[in-house]
Amino acid sequence: MISVIVPVYNVEDYLEECLESIQCQTYTDIEVILVNDGSRDGSKEICERYCRLDSRFHLINQENQGQSAARNHGVSVSTGELITFVDSDDVLSIKYLEILNRYMTEDIDLVECHYRATRSVFDKLKEVENIQIEFEGNSEEAVIKSCNYGLSYSPVCKLYRRHLVEDFPFLTGVIYEDIYHGVGLLKFIQKMVRLDYVGYYYQEHSNSTMRRRFSEKNLDLFTCCDKLVDLFALDETSMPYIGKFLVQMVTTHHKDFIEKNNPYQNLYEEKLKEYIKLVEKSPEVARSSKMVKLYRLAPKFYLRYTFPIVNRIWRKMHSLKELIYKGKQQ
């Protein structure tokens, strides 16, 4: 059986579509654990209605503790040997669970697919065609792949063996916990696969974490990054890749949040320097990182000037390539 765990908090506008997409799955041996995290809108009533109509749905109510605590609570009351997480404002393709479960063979602990903001006709066609395995690897290979941005560190669009999320629960009381959990959990897998398949669709709206203004809570980023370093402290092979991943996290976070004269500018520069040193433990990994190369050109100016300027150029070049590609398709 698959346990589908859905943290719910003030999502009455999106919740029914989410629950409908779970209820209509072609794979039917499921239990759906709805964890109402202290919602103040009509979300609880929507959950109760689905529980009355479908015995596979179960509602757990708790005071607001955050998404990670809700996920952990859901795991603790679930009974399935396999577990997947669905955010309550997202939707699943009708064969999502069937397809992910198909690739969960005896030696596999984790199956991952792609997610996308919008659904296209092309995605519907891929559901009924042969699906390719995009990546298959052991723990070390998966960590390296993830740190090279080839795997998702999001907890969704994945099917887990139960022991993984039981033994490695989500961090609570912090934001950016996905950075730690998504990569850290790979340390404990036997083997995983990533499918060339889009089965999960997320909503883009103004409540997204990445759209908020800077506050001291954003410094949780470094708590999660440092815990990841501690977790892999004895892994000499993986550590340079962990460093490469964290350089990416700090750089993009600084670009998104830090404005001129921010009092934490020095902290960002210090942490970046610390993570750069981890990358440089492997000259080969350092050479493979565009960000490390940019940093070495002018370390003092990297965060404030070099990366923002070069990033704008990269984005314009990418947009131009997309326009050229679309023109060729017409």
Summarised one tens digit per residue, pLDDT across range 68-127 is 999 999 999 999 999 999 999 999 999 999 999 999 999 999 999 999 986 554 555 455
Please say if the pLDDT value at position 208 is more than 70. no
Cβ proximity of 134 and 196 under 8 Å: yes
Spacing of C-alpha 19 from chain mean position: 20
Structure tokens at 104: 């969960």
Calpha distance 8→87 (Å, rounded): 8
Please say if the pLDDT value at position 156 is more than 60. yes
| DSSP letter (8 states) at residue 131 | P
Other beta carbons within 10 Å of 263: 7
Q: What is the pLDDT of residue 259?
A: 75
Summarised one tens digit per residue, pLDDT across range 283-319 is 999 999 999 999 999 999 999 999 999 988 988 887 7
Angle subtended by helix axes 239-257 and 265-279, to nearest 10: 160
Looking at the chain, the domain(s) classified CATH 3.90.550.10 span 2-201
Please say if the pLDDT value at position 252 is more than 60. yes
Measuring CA to CA, which residue among 24, 92, 81 is closest to residue 56? 24
Measuring CA to CA, which residue among 85, 312, 313, 121 is closest to residue 200? 85
Other beta carbons within 10 Å of 106: 6
Measuring CA to CA, which residue among 51, 16, 53 is closest to residue 61? 51
Spacing of C-alpha 16 from chain mean position: 23
CB half-sphere exposure, 52, CA atoms < 13 A:
6
> In the CATH scheme, what architecture does the domain 2-201 have?
Alpha-Beta Complex (3.90)
Q: Tell me the β-bridge partners of 240.
A: none
List, in sequence order, every beta strand (DSSP E) within the chain: 2-8, 30-37, 57-62, 82-85, 91-92, 110-116, 133-138, 158-161, 191-201
Calpha distance 277→159 (Å, rounded): 34
pTM of the model: 0.90
